């Protein structure tokens, strides 16, 4: 048997508000009935009379002309509870702003508990005649006798007390230094783990971490801490964009990329701007928007970032030019990547947000293949493998693409019989590691084998069959055929 709902729950409030509105009652009558029936404090009753959530109320207060109040859902809830436990005293401007958005007076938002707990200086301001107190433009009657005029020395002390109260609020924060340090450590760990881990599981972890950071940003913290949280949110959305594209959902990846860019702008952080631009360039490339890919890469480079992202951005521009068949532009961009590699700097995050030599050479090999510089592609691929094998952590996606580049280059120089041996590590990959970019590279290789006149023998035919079967058991295909759609 379902237990009866608690009186005053949302269903009860909605029913009461609808019934009274239908009967022609206004917010004041509804708020009074809410207080009587559900024993609510006046500020909460007025909010429910309008049918607003805490966040909706906060947004209305924050944008009210003539006031500069940074409200959020948590603060509104604490103002409503005051002077009870876990509450915060609403200042005079807060009371006046709340009254203005509610369409009532400050008096309507106060009860006996409030009057007994409010400081004398607040009562003095609230009881002042509206025509002599600018703050009272949104309020009216409080039928009590005015207090005597405030003496100058009392006004000085009151003003100091008000500033002290505001300073106490300003220095409060919902995230401390240790928590912030842990957030950035989690971001670095996720970016590193993605090189070798399961894409869907890491997507879930990155999504949960992003939600935690978004939740903190909805609270209150010093501006410097807010900027740090935006940096973390930007890298997490960038990681979600990268994973989404690797799982074959380019539309979702593009959305994550736009949000990551917003975070970078809010943080004002050039390195984050560059990495987000790199991520968006990658998404645009695989989506066939090659001019967009070039523009994103150039936009990232224009922010003059540190670390290794400059080399990656130049490689991505070369990748897009090569797909367009622009040989000179491709080679120019590859030279810029080589120049950037000479002064790499230190990456703040690392992992997927880094471009070591093996990754750069992998991009270079792919670009050379598209402009049919097969010998140069083979040289770059061999060098990339050597660099990758010297690394303590080997990114399986990069390594797979290098093997594919080697196999493709062998076809290009007239040795299709070398394709299957070169692809052996790729063909042995488990399905969950066969991400969308790798699968697309395999399809391109199969198409090349089908077109190449020299690749007509038994070895080439066996390679085409193996590639076709391999693609049927890829991670994006498994995701599309399964009910686990949350990774998009």
For residue 413, the domain's CATH number is 1.25.40
> 171 in a domain, yes or no?
no
User: Is a pLDDT exceeding 50 seen at residue 140?
Assistant: no
How confident is the model at residue 161, as a pLDDT? 73
| 353, two tokens | 């947000």
How confident is the model at residue 145, as a pLDDT? 42
* Same domain, yes or no: 289 and 365: no
Dump the DSSP string for 351-412: TTB---HHHHHHHHHHHHHHTT-HHHHHHHHHHHHHHHHTSSS--HHHHHHHHHHHHHHHHH
DSSP state of 482: S
* Share in percent of the chain as helix, strand, coil (round to 5): 70, 0, 30
**Given pLDDT bands bounded at 50, 70 and 90, which one contains residue 477?**
low
CB atoms within 10 A of CB 35: 18
* Same domain, yes or no: 195 and 123: no
How confident is the model at residue 134, as a pLDDT? 37
Q: Which residue has the higher pLDDT, 420 or 205?
A: 205
> 217 in a domain, yes or no?
yes
> 5 in a domain, yes or no?
no
User: How many whole angstroms separate alpha carbon 408 and alpha carbon 431?
Assistant: 21
CB atoms within 10 A of CB 179: 13
* Same domain, yes or no: 216 and 294: yes
Dump the DSSP string for 46-67: HHHHHT--HHHHHHHHHT-TT-
The stretches of 103-219 forming alpha helices (DSSP H) are 112-117, 120-127, 152-170, 177-193, 199-217
- Alpha-carbon radius of gyration of the chain: 31
User: Is a pLDDT exceeding 60 seen at residue 54?
Assistant: yes
The length of the chain is 488
User: How many whole angstroms separate alpha carbon 117 and alpha carbon 127?
Assistant: 15
* Same domain, yes or no: 311 and 431: no
State which residues form the domain around 301: 178-332+342-347
* Same domain, yes or no: 190 and 50: no
Last residue within a domain, chosen from 347, 382, 414: 347
> 160 in a domain, yes or no?
no
> 1 in a domain, yes or no?
no
CATH classification at residue 232: 1.25.40.10
How confident is the model at residue 378, as a pLDDT? 94
Pick from 180, 199, 181: nearest CA to 190: 199
| 391, two tokens | 């690394």
* Same domain, yes or no: 475 and 407: yes
How confident is the model at residue 129, as a pLDDT? 52
User: Is a pLDDT exceeding 50 seen at residue 258?
Assistant: yes
* Same domain, yes or no: 26 and 124: yes
Average of per-residue pLDDT values in the chain = 85
Cβ neighbours of residue 389 closer than 8 Å, sequence gap 6 or more: none
Chain position carrying tokens 């100091």: 160
How confident is the model at residue 454, as a pLDDT? 62
User: How many whole angstroms separate alpha carbon 79 and alpha carbon 298?
Assistant: 48
* Same domain, yes or no: 18 and 136: yes
How confident is the model at residue 133, as a pLDDT? 37
User: How many whole angstroms separate alpha carbon 368 and alpha carbon 380?
Assistant: 9
Chain position carrying tokens 């990155």: 206
pLDDT digits (tens, 9 = 90+) for 449-468: 777 766 666 766 777 788 88
- Domain count along the chain: 3
User: Is a pLDDT exceeding 50 seen at residue 368?
Assistant: yes
User: How many whole angstroms separate alpha carbon 148 and alpha carbon 29?
Assistant: 34
User: How many whole angstroms separate alpha carbon 277 and alpha carbon 355?
Assistant: 14
408-420: b (≥16 Cβ within 10 Å) or e: bbbbbeebbbbbb
Please name the helix (run of DSSP H) or strand (run of DSSP E) that holds residue 340, with its range, or none: helix 327-341
> 372 in a domain, yes or no?
yes
Percent of the chain with pLDDT over 90: 49
User: How many whole angstroms separate alpha carbon 483 and alpha carbon 192?
Assistant: 28
| 232, two tokens | 């973390």
* Same domain, yes or no: 303 and 362: no
Please tell me whether residue 174 adopts helix, strand or coil conformation.
coil
**Given pLDDT bands bounded at 50, 70 and 90, which one contains residue 22?**
confident
> 173 in a domain, yes or no?
no
Last residue within a domain, chosen from 286, 315, 347: 347
* Same domain, yes or no: 113 and 50: yes
**Given pLDDT bands bounded at 50, 70 and 90, which one contains residue 204?**
very high
How confident is the model at residue 415, as a pLDDT? 87
User: How many whole angstroms separate alpha carbon 436 and alpha carbon 438?
Assistant: 5
* Same domain, yes or no: 84 and 128: yes
Contact, 404 vs 426, CB < 8 A? Answer: yes
Strand partners, 350: 353
CB atoms within 10 A of CB 204: 14
**Model pTM?**
0.67
Last residue within a domain, chosen from 295, 323, 347: 347
How confident is the model at residue 136, as a pLDDT? 39
* Same domain, yes or no: 29 and 100: yes
> 4 in a domain, yes or no?
no
């Amino acid at each position: 048997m379902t237990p009866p709902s608690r009186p005053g729950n949302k269903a009860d409030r909605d029913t009461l508000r609808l019934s009274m509105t239908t009967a022609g009652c206004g917010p004041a009558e509804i708020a009074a009935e809410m207080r009587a029936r559900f024993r609510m404090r006046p500020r909460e009753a007025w909010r429910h009379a309008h049918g607003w959530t805490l966040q909706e109320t906060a947004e209305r207060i924050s944008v009210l002309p003539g006031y500069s109040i940074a409200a959020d859902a948590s603060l509104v809830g604490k103002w409503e509870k005051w002077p009870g436990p876990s509450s915060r005293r609403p200042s005079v401007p807060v009371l006046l702003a709340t009254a203005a958005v509610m369409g009532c007076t400050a008096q309507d938002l106060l009860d006996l508990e409030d009057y007994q707990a409010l400081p004398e200086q607040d009562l003095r301001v609230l009881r002042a005649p509206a025509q002599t107190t600018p703050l009272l433009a949104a309020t009216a009657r409080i039928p009590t006798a005015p207090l005597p005029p405030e003496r100058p020395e009392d006004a000085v002390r009151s003003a100091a007390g008000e500033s002290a109260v505001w300073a106490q609020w300003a220095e409060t924060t919902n995230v401390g230094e240790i928590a912030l340090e842990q957030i950035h450590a989690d971001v670095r760990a996720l970016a590193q783990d993605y090189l070798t881990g399961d894409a869907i599981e890491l997507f879930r972890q990155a999504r949960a971490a992003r939600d935690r950071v978004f939740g903190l940003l909805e609270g209150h913290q010093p501006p410097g801490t807010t900027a740090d949280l935006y940096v973390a949110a930007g890298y997490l959305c960038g990681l979600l964009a990268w994973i989404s594209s690797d799982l074959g959902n380019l539309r979702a990846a593009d959305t994550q990329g736009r949000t990551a860019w917003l975070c970078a702008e809010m943080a004002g952080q050039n390195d984050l701007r560059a990495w987000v631009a790199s991520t968006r360039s990658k998404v645009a490339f695989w989506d066939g928007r090659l001019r967009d890919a070039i523009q994103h890469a150039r936009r990232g480079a224009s922010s003059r970032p540190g670390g290794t992202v400059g080399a990656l951005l130049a490689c991505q521009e070369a990748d897009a030019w090569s797909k367009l068949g622009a040989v000179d532009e491709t080679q120019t961009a590859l030279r810029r990547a080589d120049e950037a590699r000479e002064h790499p700097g230190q990456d703040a995050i690392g992992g997927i947000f880094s471009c070591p030599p093996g990754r750069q050479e992998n991009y270079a090999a792919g670009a050379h293949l598209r402009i049919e510089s097969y010998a140069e592609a083979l040289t770059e691929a061999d060098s990339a493998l050597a660099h990758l094998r010297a690394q303590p952590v080997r990114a399986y996606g990069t390594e797979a693409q290098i093997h594919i580049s080697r196999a493709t280059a062998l076809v290009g120089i007239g040795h299709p019989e070398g394709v299957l041996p070169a692809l052996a590590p790729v063909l042995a990959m488990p399905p969950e590691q066969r991400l969308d970019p790798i699968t697309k590279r395999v399809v391109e290789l199969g198409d090349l084998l089908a077109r190449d006149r020299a690749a007509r023998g038994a070895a080439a035919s066996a390679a085409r069959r193996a590639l076709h079967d391999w693609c049927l058991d890829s991670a994006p295909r498994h995701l599309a055929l399964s009910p686990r759609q949350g990774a998009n």
